[in-house]
Structure 1
């Protein structure tokens, strides 16, 4: 007589989520970070710090699996609230090792689009990658399809430095000598309003100090259309590698700028967070350089998809640096033609790294791609209990 076959229940996946916790973090400290090089500190402007609500009240997201935890930090209070209220219930029971299923988990509430909703979705997705990597004991780049390179060049973002300061040229020279891939300088409101001739004089001094290194500018969407159009010949004369967000991307103004910008590559994308807008901007021939932030654009899988689409269109991607560990994992999964460099913010990134137990620091302008499990080091917690928690019953 044949014995019946025993059917054993499958063991619980170590990356299946059983709880979600949101932990308070220390606020971003006021003032400049300690240890800045003297030429940078001399011309630097103090960051907003606790004056911004998202810096004053910060949280870390922990997704708890059967075999460990995954993390993402920091989040502002508005983003943390969406994560807890709208995303957490549907996240319980999800296996972080199955990233394509995440988008189909139940969501409550009405928050689907807009900056905070996309940051919340990105936070959950990045925490899941961290959990999947830790429980699989493999680097995130391995889970993305393989580590293509072990290190990635960084460009120095001088957005925290006043280009009108008398010491700004010394900071530009230091950036060059430090080995950065290039450097990006702000078009401040004061500089824009001073007119094209003054812009040319100020940026010309910085361009000369930068030597043969790559030179970029960022207006953070501050220009009026007429101002942006008048600046294009100046930027062309300076041979900038790209001009970022002279105007908010998209719309009639951007189309006119794009038509007129002969010889000046236009960069955009970091603030374009909703999927339809991202695809429209990329496929309409509206940008020469694509920028995305995995922490804003929908997560790492979405950023990789957009990066590959940009590459198919012949557009290089320069990931935004606000979530540097995710940007570094993205870049480590791509070749240098697809992602030539990522952003290192000279005055803000050291402050961001203070919340990590394993802070990132460039060495001769290069960042090492993480070869151990996890997206980054776990955050430095300041409380003995989470502010919010939801778990399976």
Structure 2
């Protein structure tokens, strides 16, 4: 008789939670790639669709007390890949061998082509397996990763200048930079350009001298526009320009970074997989890497990118990490200099980020609609 491999996966369950409708970024004008089309320029809720919805993944084992939970986006599209394909590969596998299991999932998903949906689906399963492994060890995930307890360095994202002016002093004092979305892009001409610069000046007036101002462009600008903006906004303490270009335009990012110093270039939120994230780093195309831990392909992809970023002097600042327990645990184990993103404008007052000290990542599956019991 062979040795028992430990707990086995017995079931994979999914839940989709609408994300778009309550998000403040969907209720105001921000510059997006669809800014050239008037019917979609005012609100991105007109075009984003179900792909913005959250997908929760619960992996159960033959030990009723042992389970793991993961998360991604991609809505019903990503959920279909998990529930109708990957779940069948997970059931019956050793629950405490995440690296081997994820290798199987990624290779099995290869026919769908590399990119967002594939990496989202595989990554969500991997996050659940890491949560499960930490629960099995009785440790918070950051301890399993060799990390440290305590508050994390961070920056703050705000809906608009008014939100920036309303930040609690304790939160503002520790922020490395405060970021706001830009409302306009190249399609909006000189008037829109001027309003963008005015927004930076307004935020600057609300912040202490030591806190920078950064802007988010949501993949909607081009190299000439961003270059002109960097020059115009630099006197107002512009720190970084985030996602000015399409995520696969590595050469464009590198050109922009060369043109815009000392203003920094941030990006990577919409890159998927290790190769795409690494390309931005090794081409010296970004100063700040912002891959999303729940989208980019999983914890191992994000952890590898964090280490590569540190080797190249790039700040690792994963997207929306303040709202993602897996990302906070990873940041607690990341090389020095990494930043969490704190979202101001969500339902509760933002606080200084730190990972949970509970076993796993600290998410209660019952709180998000999974039926939990002892049998």
Q: What residue is the counterpart of 1:119 in the other structure?
A: 120
Task: Provide closer, same or farther for how the CA distance between residues 55 and 383 of structure 1 changes in structure 2, counting only shifts above 3 A.
Answer: farther
Q: Tell me the CA shift for residue 218 of structure 1.
A: 0.9
Q: What residue is the counterpart of 1:375 in the other structure?
A: 361
- Measured in 2, the distance between the counterparts of 1:28 and 1:286 equals 31
- Measured in 2, the distance between the counterparts of 1:185 and 1:347 equals 11
Q: What residue is the counterpart of 1:150 in the other structure?
A: 150
Q: Tell me the CA shift for residue 335 of structure 1.
A: 4.6
Q: Tell me the CA shift for residue 20 of structure 1.
A: 1.4
1:91-126, CA deviations, whole angstroms, 9 ceiling, x for partnerless residues? 223334333213332526722411111100110000
- Measured in 1, the distance between the counterparts of 2:43 and 2:364 equals 27
Q: Which of 195, 200, 216 is the matching residue for 1:218?
A: 216
- Measured in 2, the distance between the counterparts of 1:43 and 1:176 equals 25
1:100-115, aligned counterparts within 5 Å? 100-105=99-104, 107=108, 110-115=111-116
Q: Tell me the CA shift for residue 281 of structure 1.
A: 1.4
1:220-299, aligned counterparts within 5 Å? 220-249=218-247, 250-299=249-298
- Measured in 2, the distance between the counterparts of 1:43 and 1:151 equals 33
- Measured in 1, the distance between the counterparts of 2:304 and 2:126 equals 14
TM-score by length of 1: 0.77
| Secondary structure in 1 matching 2:353 | strand
Deviates more, 1:375-384 or 1:324-333: 375-384
How many residues align? The count is 345
- Measured in 2, the distance between the counterparts of 1:42 and 1:51 equals 14
Q: Say if 2:119 and 2:272, in contact at 8 Å, map to a contact too.
A: yes
**2:200 is the alignment partner of 1:208:** no
Deviates more, 1:79-88 or 1:186-195: 186-195
| Secondary structure in 1 matching 2:196 | helix
1:56-67, aligned counterparts within 5 Å? 59-67=55-63
- Measured in 1, the distance between the counterparts of 2:147 and 2:253 equals 36
Q: Tell me the CA shift for residue 77 of structure 1.
A: 0.6
Per chain length, whose mean CA-contact separation is higher, i.e. which structure has more relative contact order (CA < 8 Å, sep 6+)?
A: 1
Task: Provide closer, same or farther for how the CA distance between residues 298 and 42 of structure 1 changes in structure 2, counting only shifts above 3 A.
Answer: closer
Q: Say if 2:72 and 2:295, in contact at 8 Å, map to a contact too.
A: no
**2:85 is the alignment partner of 1:99:** no
* Bigger CA radius of gyration: 1
Q: Tell me the CA shift for residue 214 of structure 1.
A: 2.7
Q: What residue is the counterpart of 2:35 in the other structure?
A: none
| Secondary structure in 1 matching 2:153 | strand
Q: Tell me the CA shift for residue 19 of structure 1.
A: 1.8
Task: Provide closer, same or farther for how the CA distance between residues 362 and 332 of structure 1 changes in structure 2, counting only shifts above 3 A.
Answer: farther
Task: Provide closer, same or farther for how the CA distance between residues 287 and 381 of structure 1 changes in structure 2, counting only shifts above 3 A.
Answer: closer
Q: Say if 1:25 and 1:381, in contact at 8 Å, map to a contact too.
A: no
1:43-77, CA deviations, whole angstroms, 9 ceiling, x for partnerless residues? 99999499842466x54211112332111246511
- Measured in 2, the distance between the counterparts of 1:383 and 1:314 equals 42
Q: Tell me the CA shift for residue 12 of structure 1.
A: 4.7
- Measured in 2, the distance between the counterparts of 1:42 and 1:228 equals 22
Task: Provide closer, same or farther for how the CA distance between residues 47 and 93 of structure 1 changes in structure 2, counting only shifts above 3 A.
Answer: same
- Measured in 1, the distance between the counterparts of 2:52 and 2:265 equals 30
Task: Provide closer, same or farther for how the CA distance between residues 292 and 31 of structure 1 changes in structure 2, counting only shifts above 3 A.
Answer: closer
| Secondary structure in 2 matching 1:270 | coil
- Which structure dedicates a bigger proportion of its chain to helix? 2
- Measured in 2, the distance between the counterparts of 1:378 and 1:172 equals 32
Task: Provide closer, same or farther for how the CA distance between residues 282 and 59 of structure 1 changes in structure 2, counting only shifts above 3 A.
Answer: closer
- Measured in 1, the distance between the counterparts of 2:47 and 2:122 equals 25
Q: Say if 2:71 and 2:294, in contact at 8 Å, map to a contact too.
A: no
**2:316 is the alignment partner of 1:320:** no
Task: Provide closer, same or farther for how the CA distance between residues 245 and 55 of structure 1 changes in structure 2, counting only shifts above 3 A.
Answer: closer
Q: Unaligned 5+ residue runs, structure 1?
A: 1-7, 34-40, 162-167, 352-360, 386-393
Deviates more, 1:123-132 or 1:205-214: 205-214
